[in-house]
Structure 1
């Protein structure tokens, strides 16, 4: 039973790193780091609304709707690129505060807020992992096809697929887990001038270690994963800076 929990959570982290490493590299290259956490947080608003208004029904639809709205605004904000990061930061602050306000109407608001921030991925079902992997495979195919688009349509398609990815990710893992898996492996691979495969292997290795430590020390798995991914990302950055 314990092995099944470990295997499911690790497999989910590998699937998450697989698609998020690509998006993370693109976001880091563009210098709009707040994008991922802002879109993830607005996706969380959709989930929070579905929990409070509809007892969790249509959570994916609400999450996708709010994530797409955020992505559209961010894509359009690139037309004022010098101020876009400030706009994206405010969008994140709006989303976070709105989640707290919405969940204040729920009797289990704090518990639901913790899940939306960093879910305990130990208890994800294996069928959910496979379903997510299938969705991400289709998104990967669409990402390959979008290179035929040009101009604004290319940007909009990128952010639309990004939102579709986060709508699945946030519900399963939480905003901070998604953010750490998006940024840390991507940042390290770019700092070390490595490719996407390196980012995937690197992120998967540290996810495995974080999940193993959470088992061994009886720590919250989601926050353990966030902590270790952030720690190694910062460490590589500082080492690179010193050199």
Structure 2
């Protein structure tokens, strides 16, 4: 597919899905970076993915409401567990988040081991199928994103551990269903990193700008060269993060 012949009716829903993911993940990512719990997104996203895989292994449709309920329940359970571990062992929280991610990923691989299509489904959940997003999928995610942004703006730092992790679980669960684990993590962390040297009053705008440009470039390049969109958007995010860092008032050696 070339740029001249690409179907913009496919790219527009994909771009809107990216905007919805960025709408919640940019402010949450800045807060995650300030809390020093960078890998929380990967862990909760992987736990939500495990919920979908478990529902699929039990014979339920991955897109059905039971699978969605399983994903949310798993993510919330992970949020409760992270809240408890942060209270109990705050000095090794990041390491425990990493262990939780590995356990959830390994459990998912075990569940799909005897499924002839399990590997393909697992790959879709990890790298995402953003080009297959439709407008019907965007409506509930849009409503959830609006609710998350309202709560985050209203409560912010006053959410507490459980409140923050719970809010995070809902945001990540919805996003994983749209764009996959890798792109969810990149959307959370890279804009936050790229904008960290900017003044507080413009940091959020810079982070959103990095994300929006990256999604635009990644989707267009994907359509032009006929390569998977998710990985290309991840690389576009990294490239735009480097550019934003180079242009920042106080440069640092890495994104």
Give the aligned partner of residue 69 of structure 1: 77
Q: Which has the higher helix share?
A: 1
- Indicate the RMSD between aligned Cα atoms, in angstroms: 2.0
SS in 2 for 1:195: helix
Cα shift readout 1:116-147 (whole Å, capped 9, x = no counterpart): 10112111001212321111001111223335
Give the aligned partner of residue 212 of structure 2: 204
Q: State whether residues 219 and 233 of structure 2, in contact with CA within 8 Å, keep that contact through their aligned partners in structure 1.
A: yes
Once residues 57 and 242 of structure 2 are traced to their aligned partners in structure 1, the CA distance between those partners, rounded to angstroms, is 37
1:154 aligned to 2:160?
Answer: yes
Cα shift readout 1:9-52 (whole Å, capped 9, x = no counterpart): 01111111111001111111111111110010000000111111
Spell out the pairing of 1:152-191 with structure 2 (5 A cutoff).
Answer: 154-191=160-197
Q: Which has the higher mean CA deviation after the structures are superposed, 40-49 or 136-145?
A: 136-145
Once residues 107 and 237 of structure 1 are traced to their aligned partners in structure 2, the CA distance between those partners, rounded to angstroms, is 44
SS in 2 for 1:240: coil
Once residues 10 and 176 of structure 1 are traced to their aligned partners in structure 2, the CA distance between those partners, rounded to angstroms, is 17
Give the aligned partner of residue 107 of structure 1: 116
1:97 aligned to 2:103?
Answer: no
- For structure 2, the residue ranges without an aligned partner over 5 or more in a row are 1-5
- For structure 1, the residue ranges without an aligned partner over 5 or more in a row are none
Once residues 43 and 73 of structure 1 are traced to their aligned partners in structure 2, the CA distance between those partners, rounded to angstroms, is 14
Once residues 237 and 212 of structure 2 are traced to their aligned partners in structure 1, the CA distance between those partners, rounded to angstroms, is 10
TM-score (norm 1): 0.91
Q: 1:229 to 1:157 in 2, by over 3 A?
A: same
Once residues 50 and 38 of structure 1 are traced to their aligned partners in structure 2, the CA distance between those partners, rounded to angstroms, is 19
Spell out the pairing of 1:230-241 with structure 2 (5 A cutoff).
Answer: 230-233=238-241, 240-241=252-253
1:16 aligned to 2:21?
Answer: yes
**In the TM superposition, what is the alpha-carbon distance from 1:198 to its structure 2 partner?**
2.1
Q: State whether residues 47 and 171 of structure 1, in contact with CA within 8 Å, keep that contact through their aligned partners in structure 2.
A: no
